[in-house]
Structure 1
């Protein structure tokens, strides 16, 4: 791992003194602000107005009114798809600004942030294409010879609650298909990363001013947990879609269950990568280290459990160390770096606490474990924890940092059992010289996505989790289906 360190004055961004309700920037009913802190310099780079429960009420009211009046839902879906495409174009035109915001908000490095923003525009376009291909009315012949029409209709008012680790991408996963389906949306963003959603709000505001989206259809609010719960429990909200921790997902599902609201959840992960004995380690190390340390481990799909046979343990550990040593680590504003700091001091302290817990339970730090020698920035070095057993907390709980657990298995059945011994089931990987053999093992892993001999990241195909990693799917036609209700109309 190579490091670079040279502190310069942080890039600052314009403050956001208003809240975005129904397509317009307006005054908040309160006076709460959130500071946006650059995770490299630790300096405040912008301030954003926080929403109140009254602001939430106004946003839901605008969404409910706009949906019930039906102008957006009645717009032909191909025209709605054109609007989604235009959102993509306008976000792409703001690539430089969004890239800088991503570095400041999340701590990802410039090249990673740029890649993420470029991917997001593609996701909007993919949603638009799915919308053009969907069949909204399907005529079917009944058993009695009559005709029934099966209709797809928009859910209604959708509350979209997104995390800090990928805000603009999550908007593409959730808001774009909800709008394509004809829903009205209240987007609640994280106080840690509110700037990129504000840029999205700017784009929506332009489209509202141009008459391409009716007023009331989209609101964007920054709020803490208490205010967010007001959105979840509001009976005027038909569907809640959330990305974040499993603990918060449970809370949302519990609250929504009291009124049987529709819920879709993309939650945590503790994904396992099974390295079979015939795997070529040079090929494995082309994708596995970044699969575990992407966004400095701040990714739900990170491959944080590496399962190796007892026979190849030492060889795999040495190769993983060598691979991490080659990853440039440090100032996220330097384009030569691939790994930067964590999002906040709180997140850094949380990750460090898990490393200490692992040591107290008998594991050993085989690589990293410190702050990389930096005296500023919320850094945790890429870290390998060895001698881990699957019952340890480091193996069972989501750390959300660049901490990799090495776990040994006896045979293939044992490897599959260890991979499945988790409350989570979001992602995974299998490495083998025999792709067919790896595929057969992939089918046995209880997780929503599995990579065979690679590190494919493509959210235009279905993505989501088993078990406590979530409910529902994002991406592809399945992601669009989440925002439709099915109605059957029998014709005599």
Structure 2
């Protein structure tokens, strides 16, 4: 039985029948049953959405009006928090408590952080005889992934609206139902027509069309490095601005004077969070050789506590991964890692259930930093443990991938951890378990992308800078 079918797209402030034919099925990864569908939009649908966004764009929209629009979205999220979490749990497989805390409540906190940034922002600045004016970029094309369907909409759509832009949104196809539900709730709060438009459809059709569309001024994309490279290639034809948040292979560097128990506990949790389907997951744990055996014992104990099961069971800490395709990809990484000589410490690729896309949280020890598992993003609950001899070697390993998105450093001396972190080529690091800050910018170095989300820097991605030279 279907859970929630969506037969219309959101364009120009109303739900309209799509021009495109067919639907995209949404599958519950715990049951592998179809629970709903969304429209399979086409170029005509995207053109209509872009036209609506252009009509809805007012470069002089007041800050008060922008604030009102953000308030409406936050109200919609707060009023529908429980229902949104349940939908995320069903379509993504995230345990319900994780869906509530991470997907929805963290999204609300991020939304409130964007509102705080807007309220404290000065759009004009005097420099000498020049007046610097920051203006909205225009129409934004937001392409969001399936792994954090609500949060990723928040961190793209809300700063764009706060900047005065209008948005055409394409959600990820594996988990779009929660996005449609959120937009329904936002519509009920009275968002003006054209400010937000939603077109679902194949990435090769709608995603490429967004990147190529001359009526879109800026594209914000989150996804794999390979697809991000394609978005950049297509977008180059219209010389539009891009922000790209791509893959990661983040290092959790534990220095020799760290609180090992705390570092391991948090590190394992971060690696397995959301079934490992997190671009910021600390999937490489770097341990000093002198403390390696002690760390492996702690890692085994921590990993054993990650119970796999139905997302709606209270004891579940790891639900199914999003799809059978994703499951098979993860199992392939595990099998190849064993063939490459990594030592299986916990888990493995054996099938857990005949029904459901369940994968065992897996830990490998003695991982070669240059192997596939030491270099490539798995996007599943698989942790690579790598020993090192010296701090210099740890830094070399941490920086020794094409990615630079996130990471962590642990030390009994905070100044030492910060000094190490300054030399790591990555856009964001946690020091000794530092908590998430919704006012801080986020984004990558190297092949993890460019541009920033969140905070002042993320907000300014959606603003153009104009200088007016005044008479002296």
TM more than 0.5: yes
Whether 1:460 and 2:460 are equivalent positions in the alignment is no
Verify the 8 A CA contact 1:88 1:122 in the aligned structure 2: no
For residues 239-318 of structure 1, what are the structure 2 equivalents within 5 Å? 239-318=218-297
Question: Aligned-pair distance for 1:416?
Answer: 0.4
1:409 to 388, 400, 409: 388
Verify the 8 A CA contact 2:76 2:182 in the aligned structure 1: no
Name the CA distance, whole Å, in 2 between partners of 1:327 and 1:58: 46
Secondary structure of the 2:141 match is strand
Whether 1:175 and 2:157 are equivalent positions in the alignment is yes
For residues 358-373 of structure 1, what are the structure 2 equivalents within 5 Å? 358-371=337-350, 373=352
Name the CA distance, whole Å, in 1 between partners of 2:318 and 2:340: 28
Question: Aligned-pair distance for 1:372?
Answer: 6.5
Q: When the two structures are superposed, what TM-score results if normalisation uses the length of structure 2?
A: 0.96
Q: Give CA deviations for 1:220-254 in whole Å, capped at 9, x if unaligned.
A: 11111222211110111100000111111111111
Name the CA distance, whole Å, in 1 between partners of 2:449 and 2:438: 16
In structure 1, the partner of 2:19 is: 29
2:74 to 77, 88, 92: 88
In structure 2, the partner of 1:441 is: 420
Verify the 8 A CA contact 1:23 1:204 in the aligned structure 2: no
Structure 2, unpaired ranges of 5+? none
In structure 2, the partner of 1:203 is: 185
Name the CA distance, whole Å, in 1 between partners of 2:204 and 2:257: 52
Q: How many residues align?
A: 469
Secondary structure of the 1:286 match is helix
Name the CA distance, whole Å, in 2 between partners of 1:214 and 1:325: 50
Question: Aligned-pair distance for 1:438?
Answer: 1.3
Secondary structure of the 2:318 match is coil
Question: Aligned-pair distance for 1:13?
Answer: 2.7
RMSD, matched Cα? 1.5
Verify the 8 A CA contact 1:87 1:204 in the aligned structure 2: yes
Name the CA distance, whole Å, in 1 between partners of 2:352 and 2:451: 42
In structure 2, the partner of 1:472 is: 451
Whether 1:54 and 2:58 are equivalent positions in the alignment is no
In structure 1, the partner of 2:9 is: 19
Secondary structure of the 1:407 match is strand
Secondary structure of the 2:447 match is helix
Q: In the superposition, relative to structure 1, how do residues 458 and 337 fare at CA in structure 2: closer, same or farther (>3 Å)?
A: farther
Structure 1, unpaired ranges of 5+? 1-9, 142-146
In structure 2, the partner of 1:133 is: 120
Question: Aligned-pair distance for 1:117?
Answer: 0.5
Secondary structure of the 2:313 match is coil
Verify the 8 A CA contact 1:388 1:407 in the aligned structure 2: yes
Q: When the two structures are superposed, what TM-score results if normalisation uses the length of structure 1?
A: 0.93
For residues 98-177 of structure 1, what are the structure 2 equivalents within 5 Å? 98-115=84-101, 116-141=103-128, 147-177=129-159
Q: In the superposition, relative to structure 1, how do residues 460 and 196 fare at CA in structure 2: closer, same or farther (>3 Å)?
A: farther
Q: Which segment is superposed worse, 58-67 or 97-106? A: 58-67
Verify the 8 A CA contact 2:113 2:438 in the aligned structure 1: no
Q: In the superposition, relative to structure 1, how do residues 285 and 408 fare at CA in structure 2: closer, same or farther (>3 Å)?
A: closer
Verify the 8 A CA contact 1:28 1:51 in the aligned structure 2: yes
Question: Aligned-pair distance for 1:60?
Answer: 1.0
Verify the 8 A CA contact 1:85 1:124 in the aligned structure 2: no
Q: Give CA deviations for 1:40-76 in whole Å, capped at 9, x if unaligned.
A: 1111111211211110111111112322xx2xx4331
In structure 2, the partner of 1:7 is: none
Name the CA distance, whole Å, in 2 between partners of 1:350 and 1:463: 27
Question: Aligned-pair distance for 1:78?
Answer: 2.7
Verify the 8 A CA contact 1:23 1:201 in the aligned structure 2: no
